[in-house]
Amino acid sequence: MSDKDSESNPTPQQPLPPGMVLGPDGKPCKICTAFRYWKPRKQNSSKAPSHDGRNSTTSMMAAMATGQSLASQSEPEPEPETRPEYCPPDVEQLGRATWTFLHTTAAYYPERPTPTQRANMLMLLRSLPILYPCTYCASHLDTNMQDNPPNVSGRVALSRWLCERHNDVNVRLGKDKFDCSIEKTDERWKDGPADGSCD
């Protein structure tokens, strides 16, 4: 078997790392997986420690410059919780950005939308399960939207509907639910807290 064959036909016995999600092609899905689950696995314990989990020339050079052996180096610095800003988004960054956009759009949606505004909002919402980059997330949203059709009748109804869909995701992920009253959604996505801390 050639190297090309082994790349296109990964061995099914290899377990996925915890938190790793497969895409529709059967390969690990980067946009469906949180960054913390993409940390490289250490290949060999005899390799030099490094900040990113890989054999690091920088670590070796630093050890030689200070006269330390690699084994006597202090513990490596903890890995950063987030990636540099210039990296593509992971599933959590994409999710936060998408929810921010949707909730804010709902907060500014008209109280009495025109038929055209309703149609455009429905098109936006119905496009998400088709176009959303994380196919795993899109599939869940599609099922949820079939069970709970979007309510685009006005700002209050849309804000509540989105908040409830967001809470469905929060429950699935083991997170706390958000209070979906219009006072709370407006405070979070439109007006800010009454204490003026966001003004």
Predicted confidence (pLDDT) per residue in 122-134, tens digit: 999 999 999 999 9
Q: Extract the tokens encoding 19.
A: 């938190």
Contact 191, 142 (CB under 8 A): no
CATH number of 91-190: 1.20.120.310
The confidence score (pLDDT) of residue 27 equals 77
**CA separation for the pair 147, 142 (Å, rounded):** 9
- The residues with which 28 forms a beta bridge, in sequence order, are 22
pLDDT tens across 142-198, in order? 999 999 999 999 999 999 999 999 999 999 989 999 999 999 999 999 999 999 898
0.75 exceeded by pTM? no
User: pLDDT-based confidence at 28, cuts 50/70/90?
Assistant: confident
Element spanning 17, H or E: none
User: pLDDT-based confidence at 39, cuts 50/70/90?
Assistant: low
CA-based diameter of the chain, in Å? 74
| Pairwise pLDDT comparison (64 vs 185), residue with the higher score | 185
User: pLDDT-based confidence at 26, cuts 50/70/90?
Assistant: confident
pLDDT of 32 higher than 50: yes
